[in-house]
């Protein structure tokens, strides 16, 4: 099948530092992909380039056949590419329900129904009327996760979904991700928790110093000398 997302030779520089340097990767539809690498390896910057939050300096990004590297984030979102953030970015003075409602452009009642359904999915329906800023860290993470699902995106980028989430919640979250995959969605997640990555992902990309170090199924990646070296040193 044709890849849903193609990143081709993408480079992003901040001053003299190339945070992402000539990275090429492609995502197959309907699979869960992992993006790993030590701190500062460029994972979040790559996310930002794909979603239009940052403009890439070089390279081409294609999503569902469209060249999106010059697009604004809101346009990319409506083409079916949703994301969550590493540092939570809910709208604190909007209620949990409103956080979801603002996302869609569908008719109000339908949007409300969908939002309520999603809050039920993440078990927050009783907190629908609470300001998002008053929720716990884990709950805010779930609001963000539910929010990205409002428009039923084809590709979902999750930036460290497991960080700061307790075990019970994490199991539910991972279960939800698995369900999305079974529903035919494509997922790319940045994660530090190796257990999560190895257990969930079908394909893993490794970044180090802004460059792609390796890619392959989790079993091979775990045994790759270069990856071990990047993480633990020689």
Partner 1 sequence: MRRWFPVVLGVAFVLLALYPLQATGYGIRVMLQLFMWIALAQSWNLISGLTGYVSFGHVAFFGMGAYTAGILIARADWPWLVACLAGGVAAMLFALLIGFPCLRLKGPYFAISMLGLNEVLRVVVSYWESLTGGGNGLSLPTLHASVPIYYAMGATAALVTALTFVIVTSRFGLRLMTIREDEVAAEAMGIDTFRYKLYAFLLSAVGPGIVGGLTARDQGYIEPISVFPLVTTITMIVMALFGGKGTIWGPVLGAVLLFTFQEIVWARYIYLHQLLFGAIIVAVVLLMPRGILGVLQQKYRLPRTI
Which residues of the shown chain bind partner 1 in the complex (CB under 8 A)?
A: 51-53, 72-75, 77-78, 82-83, 85, 89-94, 98, 101-103, 105, 108, 111, 147-148, 151
Task: State the nearest-atom distance from the C-beta of 109 to partner 1, in Å.
Answer: 12
Task: Select 21 or 84, whichever has its Cβ closest to partner 1.
Answer: 84
Task: Select 77 or 205, whichever has its Cβ closest to partner 1.
Answer: 77
Task: Select 102 or 171, whichever has its Cβ closest to partner 1.
Answer: 102
Task: Select 46 or 90, whichever has its Cβ closest to partner 1.
Answer: 90
CB 50 within 8 A of CB 5: yes
Task: Select 164 or 216, whichever has its Cβ closest to partner 1.
Answer: 164
Task: State the nearest-atom distance from the C-beta of 75 to partner 1, in Å.
Answer: 8
Task: State the nearest-atom distance from the C-beta of 93 to partner 1, in Å.
Answer: 6
DSSP 109-134: HHHHHHHHHHHHHTT-GGGTTSBGGG
CB 85 within 8 A of CB 144: yes
Task: State the nearest-atom distance from the C-beta of 83 to partner 1, in Å.
Answer: 6
Cα-to-chain-centroid distance, residue 77: 12
Task: State the nearest-atom distance from the C-beta of 2 to partner 1, in Å.
Answer: 24
Compute the distance between CA of residue 131 and CA of residue 90 in angstroms, rounded to an integer.
Answer: 10
Of 139, 225, 121, 227, the C-alpha closest to 175 is: 121
Task: State the nearest-atom distance from the C-beta of 215 to partner 1, in Å.
Answer: 26
Compute the distance between CA of residue 33 and CA of residue 202 in angstroms, rounded to an integer.
Answer: 6
Task: Select 79 or 121, whichever has its Cβ closest to partner 1.
Answer: 79
- Cα–Cα distances (Å) from 184 to 31, 141, 181, in that order, read 8, 23, 5
CB 226 within 8 A of CB 214: yes
For residue 47, give the H/E element and its range: helix 43-51
């Amino acid at each position: 099948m044709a890849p849903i997302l193609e990143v081709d030779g993408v480079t992003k520089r901040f001053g003299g530092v190339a945070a992402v340097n000539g990275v090429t990767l492609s995502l197959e539809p309907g699979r869960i992909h992992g993006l790993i690498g030590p701190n500062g390896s460029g994972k979040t910057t790559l996310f930002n380039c794909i979603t239009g939050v940052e403009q890439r300096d070089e390279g081409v990004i294609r999503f569902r056949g469209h060249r999106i590297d010059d697009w604004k984030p809101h346009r990319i979102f409506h083409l079916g590419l949703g994301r969550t953030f590493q540092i939570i970015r809910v709208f604190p003075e909007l209620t949990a329900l409103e956080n979801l409602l603002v996302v869609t452009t569908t008719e109000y009642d339908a949007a409300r129904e969908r939002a309520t359904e999603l809050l039920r999915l993440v078990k927050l329906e009783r907190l629908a009327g609470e300001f998002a800023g008053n929720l716990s860290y884990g709950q805010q993470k779930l609001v963000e996760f539910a929010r990205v699902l409002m428009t039923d995106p084809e590709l979902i980028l999750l930036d460290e979904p497991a960080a700061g989430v307790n075990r019970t919640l994490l199991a539910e979250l991972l279960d939800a991700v698995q369900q999305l995959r079974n529903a035919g969605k494509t997922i790319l997640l940045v994660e530090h928790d190796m257990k999560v990555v190895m257990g969930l992902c079908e394909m893993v990309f490794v970044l180090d110093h802004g460059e792609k170090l390796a890619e392959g199924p989790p079993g091979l990646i775990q045994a790759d000398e270069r990856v071990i070296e990047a993480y633990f040193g020689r």
